[in-house]
Structure 1
Amino acid sequence: MNPERPSASPASEYRRIVVCADDFGMNATVDAGVLGLAGLGRLSATSLLVDGPSAAHNLPALLATHLQVGLHLNLTESFGQRGFCQPLKSLIQSAYLRRLPLDQVRTEISRQLDGFQNLTGRLPDYVDGHQHVHQLPGVRDLLLQALKDRAATPWIRDTGRPRLAGLPWRLRVKARVIAGLGAAGLRRRVQAAGLIQNPGFLGVYDFTGGVSAYETWMSRWLAQARDGDVLMCHPAQGTDARDALSDQRQAEYAVLSSARMAQRLADHHLTIAGTDPCKEPS
């Protein structure tokens, strides 16, 4: 699936969006949410945390779906794994002050790519970052070099072209802050490497407000979505008391799985991209 590639039929009225669920492997409720939405045809892809506690157990079910599977590069959240891990604020500071321990980061990226291949038997279809760390200075260069060394040609998530029409200022600011943490620099390097990225980015919000708020933001995202855009989401099915976002993840699942979601997609002449973006929308 190439997020930037146009439809095979210019006459088609439908635009295809890539709906991507982050955090597969984080816990059983997240995995259940991803698998449930995959079964409903509401997802295109999911991003795998190779060290996530539930990743290995639920991977066979994931690989039986139609979803693309990407590496969710994680440098900030500890699951008890060995290797480089820092709190997000410290990582950002280190990246911009050019104080990253580059050898450790290089080793960690390689370890996670190896882990992805060991778990799935293949290279990732795409790469993004947990808390968007893949775009940080230093990290992005090491990541692209590691992909080159493996002759891997995934698409790379671009956070730098958010669709912001109709969103309140606080969500616009958050999207711009995320983009400002390295998206432009990553884009230049991705283009030089001959890889591709999504043309637009949707799904940034403040993880509050329950179903009502998420329905509102979903309506505004879909109203401005363009062909090939990535809509990031974080669904879960069920409660996990250890997950601070558990309630909002369940709200996301409720919205994404609803009949109203199907109607919204139809109203905006959108379809969710599957594994082959050259196929006509069904």
Structure 2
Amino acid sequence: MGQGTPLIPISICADDFGIEPGVDEAIIELSQKGRLSATSCLTTANGFTDRAQGLKTLQVDLGVHLNFTEFLGSPGIYLPLPRLILKSYLQQLDSEEVEAQIGRQLDAFENQLGRAPDFIDGHLHVHQFPVIRGALIKQLTLRYSHRRPWVRNTWPGALSTALPFMQRFKAGVIGVLGARAFTRMAEQSGMRFNRDFMGAYDFTKPHPMYATMLDAWFSKAQHGTLIMAHPAKYVSQGDAFGQDRVEEFRVLSSELFTLLLDQHQLVIKRMSEMD
């Protein structure tokens, strides 16, 4: 890298804080090492209540990972993803119930951390679905008129052809399921969002090594790109795809990670602090 070459700021967000101790320990360690700029919290999980205090000293953006698909002990609407997509697009979700559920998850964040979230996204990207996105924008507008959280845009960046076609196709499908409509609503309400989105791959299908995928994502990253991650130091026996999480942690905590950042002239920065 030439002297004085400006670095490209990107954000790396680890999802699912609160779901398991091994995930939470990985997120805290990576944040302390400067390998992450954000983490989104499953505030409906008991683990969030138990371990949220460990987030308070971290120099990263802290957000709410809206959950409408995974029952973790809190009452509410929790449906398998295909059924939730169908009901949301057919306008069959009760908007008042959806808004109340969003409110409870925001309340849980504020109660544990004593402040408003820096951003909002969604477990399995549910925040962008019809009905949910309208209820979310309404809640954020009412609650945070003084300082609006940024929100996750899932529209994919220009993905490298080094990635398998089906992986690139999945990234496109995620974006098509509401990204454009959601970001229009967010912009009209004065909310900021990331430029584009990377990091999606299917744990259930064969895929390249995580370091290979990270290199491919970095090669196309631009100012304001958000890369999603799911690291874990260890996982429970019941996590069928836990080794992918462990491998993510291994790469993100390694010297290779910093070498890839340097190679692609990138720097990790909090989205809330980006121009």
Tell me the equivalent position of 2:154.
159
Letter in 2 for 1:200: D
CA distance in 1, matches of 2:91, 2:61: 34
CA distance in 2, matches of 1:61, 1:154: 21
Q: Are 1:195 and 2:188 counterparts? A: no
Map 1:48-197; keep pairs closer than 5 Å. 48-150=41-143, 151=145, 152-166=147-161, 167-197=163-193
Using CA pairs under 8 Å that are at least 6 residues apart, name the structure with larger relative contact order, 1 or 2. 1
CA distance in 2, matches of 1:208, 1:88: 15
CA distance in 2, matches of 1:144, 1:278: 22
**Alpha-carbon distance change, 145 to 274 in structure 1, aligned in 2, over 3 angstroms:** closer
Letter in 1 for 2:151: I
DSSP-derived class of the 1:22 partner: strand
DSSP-derived class of the 1:71 partner: strand
Q: 1:229 aligns with which of 219, 225, 231?
A: 225
Tell me the equivalent position of 1:5.
none
Considering only aligned residues, what root-mean-square deviation do their CA atoms show, in Å?
1.9
DSSP-derived class of the 1:163 partner: coil
Equivalenced residue count is 269
> Do 2:157 and 2:220's aligned partners in 1 also have CA atoms closer than 8 Å?
no
Question: TM-score, normalised to structure 1's length?
Answer: 0.91
Question: TM-score, normalised to structure 2's length?
Answer: 0.93
Q: Are 1:272 and 2:265 counterparts? A: no
Shift of 1:220: 0.4
Structure 2: gaps of 5 or more residues: none
Shift of 1:173: 0.8
DSSP-derived class of the 1:54 partner: helix
**Alpha-carbon distance change, 275 to 92 in structure 1, aligned in 2, over 3 angstroms:** closer
**Identity among equivalent pairs (%):** 38
Structure 1: gaps of 5 or more residues: 1-10
Structure 1 residue ranges (4+ consecutive) displaced by more than 4 angstroms after TM superposition: 208-212
CA distance in 1, matches of 2:16, 2:186: 23
**Alpha-carbon distance change, 210 to 33 in structure 1, aligned in 2, over 3 angstroms:** farther
CA distance in 1, matches of 2:238, 2:42: 17
Shift of 1:278: 6.0
DSSP-derived class of the 1:61 partner: helix
Shift of 1:212: 5.8
